[in-house]
Amino acid sequence: MDKKRTVRSIVNLILTGVAAATLSLPLHAKEDAPHVSAILSSDGTLNSSVVGYDRANAAFNIGSIGKFACTLAALRLSDQGLLDIDQPIADILPDFDGGSPVITTRHLLANRSGLPDGPRPQFLTDAAVPPSTITAIEAANLYASGETIGAPDETFSYNLLNWVVVQAVLEHASGRSFADLLQDTVLKPAGMSNSYMFVGQLGPRGQQPENPAKNLPRFLQCAGGPATTPADLLALLRFPHKGGLSFESLAALTTITTPDQSYTLGGRYIEHMGRQWSWQSGSIGPYKAFAIYDPQNDIGFAAMTASGKEHAVEDPRNAWLGSLPE
């Protein structure tokens, strides 16, 4: 299947039912499933909506959209001359024992490193394993000791271990904890004033889920943090397109590395309505998040829920997309 047909099929699957969506403002999910959302209009106005929750500014876990934020931190370090994403990580992390010696940070950010998915089985079955006290480099060595799944850049594998190693790389390159690094290189300059890093649970600033969420270990902050709001999530997606990255780094962020996944570095960019959109989603237990942004027209939509119900974010997303002019 050629690239254009592949991307078209992905978008068609995602947008199934858009034409039939009921349009209203604010945009609600069926049966008013609890969610919060934000819409960025072309005139710069930002409208937020809250359905089923009692706080408009509560933070949610964004799951894998944290990988997009983590990627921005890596590219910002690259722009500052502190990290070469094409340098073998064996040269950056001499204490790292796993994988091929030619794996680069770019391979990791593209989920094309060939490393096995070590942490996921235990993280999904037991919230207490692995221990949250070990560092990213310790966790990387613990879970990268098995056989690889292929040579670097040979296979796409959406796994947690890539991001454990990325976190170790960023901490080594910057000499800082990942939480402090992301706060200063991404969250603050992007204007994400209601966002924060966390370990374990979200705390009092977060929206409590309908069912218990697993504790987030410190070494998975790159893969599954920060806590944020829909408005801040839109700020995150806008940031690289509004001066947050150099021209070279923005090109790296938006260049497709795995066509059948529409995956670039740390997330997805999808062709829709003849334009390239930042198209990010995350899911971790009861927390679901979705955000899309059209850099050409400076418009976007984000929705989050702690209900565990995918349609809580999918329905208002589809309604918003269906309301846009052709």
Q: Which of the listed ranges 88-97, 216-225, 230-239 does the model predict with the highest average pLDDT?
A: 230-239
Closest CA to 317 of 7, 11, 4: 11
Query: How many other β-carbons are positioned within 10 Å of the β-carbon of residue 258?
Result: 17
Closest CA to 164 of 115, 208, 219, 212: 219
Extents of the domains making up the chain: 3-51+60-323
The per-residue pLDDT for range 24-74, each reduced to its tens digit, is 334 544 557 899 999 999 999 999 999 999 988 999 999 999 999 999 999
Query: For residue 298, how far is the Cα from the chain centroid?
Result: 20
Mean local confidence (pLDDT), 303-322: 94
Helices 136-143 and 160-174 pack at an angle, to 10 degrees, of 140
The predicted pLDDT at position 85 comes to 98
pLDDT at 1 exceeding the cut of 60: no
Of the listed ranges 134-148, 209-223, 295-309, the one predicted with least confidence: 134-148
The predicted pLDDT at position 258 comes to 97
* Amino acid letter for position 165: V
Closest CA to 293 of 228, 255, 241, 243: 241
Q: How many CA atoms lie within 13 A of 32 on its CB side?
A: 6
Mean local confidence (pLDDT), 200-215: 91
Phi/psi of residue 206, nearest 5 degrees: -95, 160
Rounded to an integer, what distance in angstroms lies between the CA atom of residue 231 and that of residue 80? 27
pLDDT at 5 exceeding the cut of 70: no
pLDDT at 205 exceeding the cut of 90: yes
Task: Name the percent of the chain lying above pLDDT 90.
Answer: 72
The predicted pLDDT at position 131 comes to 60
Rounded to an integer, what distance in angstroms lies between the CA atom of residue 316 and that of residue 318? 5
Structure-derived torsion over alpha carbons of residues 14, 16, 19, 20, reported in degrees to the nearest 10: -130
pTM above 0.85, yes or no: yes
Mean local confidence (pLDDT), 237-258: 98
Structure-derived torsion over alpha carbons of residues 172, 174, 178, 180, reported in degrees to the nearest 10: 150
Distances (CA, A) of 293 to 279, 297, 321: 7, 9, 11
The better pLDDT of the pair 24, 115 is held by 115
The better pLDDT of the pair 241, 124 is held by 241
Q: What string of DSSP letters covers 111-128?
A: T-S-----HHHHHHH-TT
Mean local confidence (pLDDT), 284-311: 96
Q: Quick one: CATH architecture of 3-51+60-323?
A: 3-Layer(aba) Sandwich (3.40)
Structure-derived torsion over alpha carbons of residues 324, 261, 109, 87, reported in degrees to the nearest 10: -120
Beta strands of the chain (E only): which ranges? 35-40, 46-51, 60-61, 227-228, 269-272, 275-284, 287-294, 299-305
Longest dimension (CA), the chain: 56
pLDDT at 11 exceeding the cut of 70: no
The per-residue pLDDT for range 146-200, each reduced to its tens digit, is 678 889 999 999 989 999 999 999 999 999 999 999 999 999 999 999 999 999 8
Confidence of residue 101 (pLDDT cuts 50, 70, 90): confident
Phi/psi of residue 321, nearest 5 degrees: -60, -40
Confidence of residue 21 (pLDDT cuts 50, 70, 90): very low
The predicted pLDDT at position 143 comes to 84
Mean local confidence (pLDDT), 100-117: 93
Residue 314 gets which letter from DSSP?
H
The per-residue pLDDT for range 259-287, each reduced to its tens digit, is 999 999 999 999 999 999 999 999 999 99
The predicted pLDDT at position 14 comes to 44
The better pLDDT of the pair 126, 60 is held by 60
Average pLDDT, the chain: 88
pLDDT at 125 exceeding the cut of 80: no
- On whether the CB atoms of residues 107 and 90 are closer than 8 A, the answer is no
